Amino acid sequence: MEGNRTKLSREALKTVIGGIYSMDVNRCVLCGECIMVCPAQCIIISRGGKYVIDEKRCINCGKCRLVCPVDALKSRLAY
């Protein structure tokens, strides 16, 4: 425990807030890089043609965020 903060595992965080990452559809350029690296295959194309994260399938690995060329994926956590 750091100060008053408790470190939680990725699985515990998923239980608390769903997925850790969110997609800014206004920044996304639909390049497909995130889809190609996602081991959980949780990034899908919505009926409106936008990429969305299926939070139930997301394993919070962060690979999508690392490869995004326009920084459209953000962590919902403040470090």
For the chain, domain boundaries? 23-75
**CA distances in angstroms from 37 to 8, 33, 34, 60, listed in the order given:** 25, 7, 5, 13
Whole-prediction pTM value? 0.69
Model pLDDT for residues 35-76, shown as the tens digit of each residue: 999 999 999 898 888 898 888 888 888 899 999 999 999 887
pLDDT of 30 reads 93
Assigned CATH class of 23-75:
alpha beta
Confidence of residue 6 (pLDDT cuts 50, 70, 90): low
Does residue 14 have a pLDDT over 80?
no
